[in-house]
Structure 1
Amino acid sequence: MQGLYALEHSRNANYLLSLDLIEKQFDTRFSQLAEDEKQVGWIFEKNHQRKPENIQIGKKLPEKVRQLALDILDAYWNSDEQEALQEQKFAPLLQQVRASYKEDNDALTEEKKNIMAVFKEVYEQEQPTIDVDASDVSKKTLVKAIDIYHNKLQEDVKNLEARLLQQSRIIYTNYLIGLIWVTEIAELVNLEKAAKASSLLKAPIFEGDYKMGQNVVCQTLKNSDALKLAKEQRKIDDAVLRTTVRELYKKVIKEDEEYINYQKLGQNNAEDDKKIVNHILKNIIFKHEITNSYFEELDLSWSENRKVVQSMAVKTIKAIMGDTEEEDGDAEETEITINKNFELSPLSKNWDEDVVFYKNLYNFNVEGNQRYEDIIAKKTKNWDIERLALIDKVILKMAICEMINFYSIPVKVTINEYIELAKTYSTPKSKKFVNGLLDSIAQDLIEQGDIKKSGRGLMDNK
């Protein structure tokens, strides 16, 4: 959804960029008209006291400027009221020039209006048929604006698809970083203990003060070959991570009440170890501004992806502890068996299939954008579709796309999934709005034969 939301923003931005081109092209022409009008006045001022054979008019000037200048010069020379014209600062003569250029200005204003209207009508068409009463210059401006829109949009479509897959990889990288930071915190505790042991002061060492260093979850993560391999494959920079985690440890964790209480407990207990690691992950690593600023530099959508990363990390801790329950505390544990061969959490259960679905959903939405826009517009006749919340429009388009193009997904499943997205990402009223609109649209599409389902897609398809 993030990619299509970004693409919708891109459409709007490219549309405005093309409109801006039209505006600037016409602004230049309006300015030129004003400049030409002044040129006529300057030529008159320069030549009205000369003889006709001695006048000076630049050969490169526009034909209309030259002709108007000659006309008002002739009018002045042939007038019997030259003295009166001079007293009036030649206003009657120059008024003829202003009237002529006002006609041009009005005509250009109308032409601009027509060009803007046609652009709004055809800008998304790949090979638009342009029918507009306008000058060749204006037609060229229109064609250029449409070309800019399409070329920029095609570039954005490709870049966003690549960025979407990259963003998915970043989610997994951030999950690994969270786990690595847990091991680094334990390592910092052990380093503190070693430094105190080597101190010349030989102060007594209280094991409880360094309890985190022997945390069974941290040690299992540290010794995990799977985590080491994943870190190498992702080329995660330990040095940068350590700089951040040192600051987090000194400024936040050592002052955290739950951490202090954990350190005061007796001998290490696996359940206590799990609880403190979960607390540090959920409430510090994935929440504090020190680490959030780091994650945000890697992931522009961190505020949305944080919950996914946190969920993956918590599931990993459960796997280490041998938990099979979905939520902590759902069952009493009589004995904890540490799973040293735990598996890292996948981004999804069937990632390869998900990537294919991901790409298809994106590309179908790109290809059918105008069709889905028209379907929504017909169902929202009393609304200006441009006033629709952008996120709602994206959700509706994605749902329509999925209903039409993915034969194995039941209609009801699609509608329910996108209602959930509306609840999570849009306004409080969006759930009801999206639900009602999708139900109505789905019914129309089924009746028109645009929705064809097979296999599992036929389930609950009423």
Structure 2
Amino acid sequence: MDEKFAPDLNAPERPDYEKLHKQKEHAKKVYERSFLHQSVIDTESDPEVKVAVLNARNEFKKQVAKDRKYFRVLLGENVNSIYERYIKFLMLPYKIAEEAEFNFNKNKNKFIITPEDALNEIKLKQNKLVEALSLNKHIEAARIKKNISWREGEIASIYRDIVRPDKEYREYLMKPSDFETDKAFILYLLKTLIFKSNIVDGFFEEGDIYWTEDKSIIKSLVVKTLKEIEEDKREDFDLLEISGNWEEDQEFYRELYDKTVADEEELEKLVEDKIKNWDIERLAATDKIILKLAIGEMIHFPSIPVKVTINEYIEISKEYSTPKSKQFVNGVLDKVSEELVKSGVIKKSGRGLIDNK
């Protein structure tokens, strides 16, 4: 828009700066309003403004098409990233134990050994759960296949700044232990020291904008895996799957994404019609996305009951949107679903016919 209404300094006549500025500012307003009401372009009287807005809209649509392809790919990559982080944190206890062993060997060769140097750090390498994690064939296979590793310096920093100064760790090193004691300490290590550490957060936030949300999922997977390890089967335990049927789930989220994106303008109108007392421009962007996805799911997935969809998206709004979003999302989806069921747009079959009221 700025380029379209920039003055031509090589023109034979002096540019009308005031007119160009007014046209530019007006065109920007028309462009912004056109996303809510397409008719504002059709009724625009200034042909130059109209052409500028139409061209800007076309450029925007091209960029949106690129973005849609990019984010579709990103959906799958994010799930894969969660699984890789899951493996990475299962590797962490024995990587820390290796660092502790290195520290122990370095200190024992000192000419003068202080009480601080005399910590029995080698014990962590002998922890039965650490041994189980280091010998597990599934972790090793995933590590090799996906080339998973901790960056240079990260393990040393975790051990030096988080683990070694910890009082519980030092007490653990001084006591005899059995499998259950070893297991309890590793759970403490991960749950209390690692997953609550700002240092560890910093390692991941650097290159992953989703770390804050993904961390709770990864922590849950890691803790559940460790809790299920039994002493007599500790060297051959199975890893958890992110999904019980990943191929089916992958097909579902891709179809939901594709159909919601394809129907975006129609879904926008449906939402707009139901919030006449709200300013759609002031509506939280997250709420709009939640509403569109929910309506798209109700329309395009006949086997999912309406109430199941509504309840799921209410939970999503509680987690990711504003404090008032729960009631708002619930109210809008109730109205929209009732109307679309009556008009026959929403048609359920099989499990989707189950009444969850």
- Determine if contact 2:291/2:333 at 8 Å carries over to the other structure: yes
Separation (CA, whole Å) in 2 of partners of 1:177 and 1:444: 48
TM-score (norm. length: structure 1): 0.69
1:141 aligned to 45, 52, 68, which one?
Answer: 52
Q: Offset at 1:357?
A: 1.0
Q: Offset at 1:446?
A: 0.7
Mark the CA change 1:132 to 1:124 in structure 2 (over 3 Å): closer, same or farther: closer
Match of 1:245 in 2: 155
Separation (CA, whole Å) in 2 of partners of 1:236 and 1:275: 26
Q: Is 1:302 aligned with 2:207? A: no
Query: Which structure 2 residues correspond to residues 205-244 of structure 1 after superposition, within 5 A?
Result: 209-237=121-149, 240=151, 242-244=152-154
Q: Which amino acid aligns with 1:364?
A: K
Query: Which structure 2 residues correspond to residues 63-102 of structure 1 after superposition, within 5 A?
Result: none
Separation (CA, whole Å) in 2 of partners of 1:379 and 1:419: 17
Larger CA Rg, structure 1 vs 2? 1
Separation (CA, whole Å) in 1 of partners of 2:353 and 2:63: 40
Where 1:252 maps in the other structure, the secondary structure is helix
Where 1:341 maps in the other structure, the secondary structure is coil
Q: Offset at 1:131?
A: 6.0
Separation (CA, whole Å) in 2 of partners of 1:344 and 1:236: 16
Mark the CA change 1:252 to 1:235 in structure 2 (over 3 Å): closer, same or farther: same
Match of 1:350 in 2: 245
Structure 2: gaps spanning 5 or more residues: none
Match of 2:339 in 1: 444
Separation (CA, whole Å) in 2 of partners of 1:167 and 1:117: 37
Query: Which structure 2 residues correspond to residues 250-289 of structure 1 after superposition, within 5 A?
Result: 250-266=160-176, 268-289=177-198
- Determine if contact 2:120/2:173 at 8 Å carries over to the other structure: yes
Separation (CA, whole Å) in 1 of partners of 2:24 and 2:159: 66
Separation (CA, whole Å) in 2 of partners of 1:123 and 1:250: 55
What RMSD over aligned residues (CA atoms) do the two structures have, in Å? 3.2
Match of 2:322 in 1: 427
1:293 aligned to 178, 190, 202, which one?
Answer: 202
Q: Offset at 1:61?
A: 2.6
2:272 aligned to 369, 377, 380, which one?
Answer: 377
2:235 aligned to 296, 315, 340, which one?
Answer: 340
- Determine if contact 1:123/1:146 at 8 Å carries over to the other structure: no
- Determine if contact 1:248/1:290 at 8 Å carries over to the other structure: yes
Separation (CA, whole Å) in 1 of partners of 2:26 and 2:159: 63
Q: Which amino acid aligns with 1:437?
A: V
Q: Offset at 1:162?
A: 1.3
Q: Offset at 1:342?
A: 1.0
Mark the CA change 1:300 to 1:114 in structure 2 (over 3 Å): closer, same or farther: closer
Structure 1 or 2: more helix by fraction: 1
Separation (CA, whole Å) in 1 of partners of 2:279 and 2:171: 58
- Determine if contact 2:27/2:52 at 8 Å carries over to the other structure: no
**Larger RCO: Structure 1 or Structure 2 (Cα < 8 Å, ≥ 6 residues apart)?**
1
Mark the CA change 1:461 to 1:160 in structure 2 (over 3 Å): closer, same or farther: same
Structure 1: gaps spanning 5 or more residues: 1-20, 37-59, 66-100, 322-335
Separation (CA, whole Å) in 2 of partners of 1:124 and 1:165: 34
Separation (CA, whole Å) in 2 of partners of 1:142 and 1:201: 78
Where 2:226 maps in the other structure, the secondary structure is helix
Separation (CA, whole Å) in 1 of partners of 2:154 and 2:35: 52
